[in-house]
Structure 1
Amino acid sequence: MSSPRAGAAVPPWALAVAAILSVQLGSALSVDLIREVGAGGTAWLRLSMGAVIFLIIARPPLSRVRRSDVPVLLGLGITTGLVTVGFLAAIEHIPLGTAVAIEFLGPLTVAALQSRSLRALIWPGLALCGVLLLTEPWHGAINLTGILFAGLAAVGWGVYITLTQRIGDRFTGISALSLTIPVAAVTAAAIGIPQAVGHLSPGILAAAAGLAILLPVLPFALEMLALRRMTATAFGTLMALEPAVGLVLGMIVLHQQPSSLQFLGILLVVLAGAAAQRGGRRRSPAEQLPGGSTLDPIP
């Protein structure tokens, strides 16, 4: 294990960027598994492996759970499962960068609605313009199924943030994930088991375990380390790079070639995400999200 002193030598922004890379690489590499067991099957296997890992490394704080916490914890887990299934179903139909950009509309909209300034609504609008450039509906060849699944993931991401803000003062860090990820796995099982049955093999299970480390285990650990040493505003600004990283990894791993207009669309989404963080303030521990992240669910 690395010592705290060694971890402190790594700049916090590097930890945040490494988390972004892990999330998007895990998403890109999931495409091959989706072809084998479907989007639901991939979500179920990945979340189940992640749940096992979190239960091994963190004891669920069951003694701290109050009756009033149960609906929110269940809601978080169910939302996480649905977001994961929705996002994986989206990248089965549309390019990774496009799916990430559409999903990113969720947290941007929540941030705008929670702001006291009407000017904050500019940023989701700018991101929506970027999404239109990414999907190019004027060509008449848009993949409505993929867009709808990505839209479902965006709504789920917004709900996720709202729920975690409600319960962030009660459960933080990996211990919270040991409560919610098993629920997410059970949620995904309703769709995933019928898709995956008959296709499971040692190779499939090994691939799912590797993907679970890339997403969700490693990113949440890196994000927690980063957030201990940087403001939530700075962290959120870096998270705005996710659509761009998704686009680049889509090109490298999945050989998806965007047009010039689609590059411009990604740029608009990134600018909107970064601008939405300006003027923010450092969140108190009561406002931090479970898992240490201010933005990410488990795509």
Structure 2
Amino acid sequence: MSKQEHKPAAGNPWLAGLALLCSQLSLNLGAAIAKHLFPAIGVEGVTAYRVGISALVMLLIFRPWRTPLTWQQARNVAVYGCVIGLMNLLIYRAFDHIPMGIAVAIEVAGPLTVAVWSSHRPRDFIAVCLAVAGLYYLLPIHGHVDQLDPVGIAYAAGAAVCWALYIVFGKRVSSMSGGQSVAWGMLAASLFIVPIGVVHSGAALLTPSFLLIGLAIAVMSSALPYTLEMLSMRTLSSRTFSMFSSAAPALSALAGMVVLGEMLTVTQWLAIAAIVAASALTSLR
């Protein structure tokens, strides 16, 4: 990626930061609601709701076909959309096996890696140490914390890779109109994810009550936050975007505790705090 592609557009950084914070709050509340629906239609079905309905909403609002894509834009949007779809599926699978806060604490290693990769200051070494310490006390590799499902940990790690790619390719398409780029991306994601959901959940996806919940999940977890994130990406650098994203594990843990009753130990909260601090430290100026 060229230096020109990394250069943020002019804008108010405080408004961009507020938009990103609202995005995270909406995203985590939507995820907590989504977890309630897993037993009814499965993780794949809920992911299909989130991605498919979001794509429809975004297409109706922004009508992106009015601005045709160049070949390079289409390629970046396709990768961006597939990354969104896979990231959603993997993190929902992780939620199905381990608490939300722990899953997102592992997932945030993705944006943390992006931030460290784009900066080589001495404080980055401290950030890496904090992140490693936090992950050590979250993962079931010692006898001082409750055992976590290794399958859920693997899914969260896969989502971390997708989150890093999401930032990279999201930055590439953010030069387009924010709503249009997200609409194209969600369309690409739906073409990838919705067929998987249909195969796994079948006619249950057409249940009216489930569809209403799916609409709420789609708006709160994808349509609104991705639009806000895309708008913030136009002003914030990838590194600063990653710093704001560092609050995600704490917000997810709070959402899991309030909505789902997922209580964490003191050690797990301290580990999450270490990862949040590591991610923020890499981007402080």
TM class, shorter-length: 0.7 to 0.9
How far apart in 2 are the matches of 1:226 and 1:79? 19
Partner SS, residue 199 of structure 1:
helix
Matched, 1:43 2:47: yes
**Structure-2 change in CA distance of 1:206 and 1:162 (3 Å):** same
Report if the CA contact (8 A) 1:87-1:149 is conserved.
yes
Aligned amino acid, residue 56 of structure 1: L
Taking only aligned residues, the RMSD between alpha carbons, in angstroms, comes to 2.6
For 1:177, the aligned partner's letter is V
Mark the CA change 1:73 to 1:14 in structure 2 (over 3 Å): closer, same or farther. Answer: closer
Which moved further from structure 2: 151-160 or 184-193?
Answer: 184-193
Aligned position for 1:112: 116
Unaligned runs of 5+ in 1: 1-7, 280-299
- Say if 2:193 is the partner of 1:188: yes
Whether contact under 8 Å (2:58, 2:179) holds in the other structure is yes
Counterpart selection for 1:70 from 67, 70, 74: 74
AA aligned to 1:78 is C
Aligned match of 1:92: 96
SS state at 1:68 partner: helix
- With normalisation by structure 1, the TM-score equals 0.81
Structure 2: distance between partners of 1:124 and 1:64: 42
- Percent of aligned pairs with the same residue? 29
Shift of 1:71: 2.3
Please point out which of 231, 237, 243 is paired with 1:237.
243
Q: Is 2:163 aligned against 1:161? A: no
1:20 aligned partner, one-letter code: Q
1:58·1:175 contact (CA, 8 Å) conserved in 2?
A: yes
- Aligned residue in 2 for 1:26: 30
Distance 1:125 1:82, change over 3 A: farther
State the Cα distance separating 1:242 from its structure 2 match. 1.2
Change (3 A) 1:222 1:257: same
**By how many angstroms is 1:100 displaced?**
0.6
| 2:130 aligned residue | 126
Rate the CA distance shift 1:248–1:221 in 2: closer, same or farther, 3 A: same
Counterpart secondary structure, 2:64:
coil
1-structure distance, mates of 2:231, 2:191: 28
Match of 1:197 in 2: 202
Equivalents in 2 of 1:254, 1:211: separation in Å?
15
CA–CA distance in structure 2, aligned partners of residues 161 and 226 of structure 1: 12
Give the C-alpha shift of residue 15 in structure 1: 4.2
Q: 1:100 to 1:61 in 2, by over 3 A?
A: same
Structure-2-length-normalised TM-score: 0.85
Q: Which amino acid aligns with 2:184?
A: L
Q: 1:173 aligns with which of 151, 155, 178?
A: 178
Partner of residue 276, structure 1 = 282
The 3 A distance-change label for structure 1 pair 13 and 70 is: closer
Structure 2: unaligned runs, 5 residues or longer: 1-11
> Which residue identity lines up with residue 37 of structure 1 in the other structure?
I
Cα distance, 1:235–1:260 mapped onto 2, change above 3 Å: same
Aligned to 1:288: none
Indicate conservation of the 8 Å contact 2:174/2:181, yes or no.
Answer: no
2:253 aligned with 1:253, yes or no? no
Q: Do the aligned partners of 1:109 and 1:124 also contact (CA within 8 Å) in 2?
A: no
CA contact (8 A) 2:173 2:181 kept: no
Of stretches 20-29 and 189-198 in structure 1, the one that deviates more from structure 2 is 189-198
Secondary structure (helix, strand or coil) at the match of 1:137 reads coil
**What per-residue deviation string (whole Å, max 9, x for no partner) do you get for residues 24-51 of structure 1?**
1111111011221111111111111100
